[in-house]
Amino acid sequence: MEQTQDLPALIIAAQADAKTLEARIAAPQDDADKQAAIAALELAAVDAFTLFEARMQGHFKRGPFSRKLKAALLEAKQPDLADRIHKHYLAVNVLKHGTGASYRELLAAKVTPFAIIPVAQVVADEDRKTSGLIDVTTSGFFDGLANALLEACDFLGTR
């Protein structure tokens, strides 16, 4: 089956859709609508990274894609992009799987481009305006993800 759009175009389209969701989240509305928009934004982040990984997997022989990508970026002297890709990979893992090694690694990180929500706060705060452990409503979360993916696409395309 032929791919109908190139990956950067799909990421840019997802970024535009995310802006619509972010506007819905910021607008005054009832809590159920806001929670639905947040859940949709979480899913969009997972989908964008999963699509990136699936389409770019062929650039590496075998093994864990994200680890190999991070190593290639570090070898190419692009530590900032390696860090951003890795942290967004961890965030997507947390969105998909919840607490675990990725969550603990993000909690231990000194700096992240998004907010990590402590488990106790998610469980205890019923009025919380986010539905998960990663605050996808953090200003620039999806733009940061999309820009990192686009830069990584460019990097892999020119290797």
Do the domain assignments include residue 102? yes
41-57, pLDDT tens digit by residue?
A: 999 999 999 999 999 99
What residues make up the domain containing 136? Answer: 7-157
Q: Give a yes or no: residue 152 inside a domain.
A: yes
Residue pLDDT, tens place only, 75-109: 999 999 999 999 999 999 999 998 889 999 999 99
23 found inside a domain: yes
109 assigned to some structural domain: yes
DSSP SS3 for 5:
coil
Q: Which tokens hold the place of 147?
A: 């820009």
Count the domains in the chain. Answer: 1
pLDDT at site 28: 85
3-state helix, strand, coil in the chain (%, to 5): 70, 5, 30
Residue 49, domain member (yes or no): yes
Is 2 a domain residue? Answer: no
Residue 1 lies in a domain: no
Classify residue 124: in a domain, yes or no. yes
Q: What is the pTM of this model?
A: 0.89
- The answer to whether 14 touches 41, Cβ cutoff 8 Å, is no
pLDDT in tens, 119-141: 877 755 555 444 579 999 999 99
Mean pLDDT taken over the chain: 90
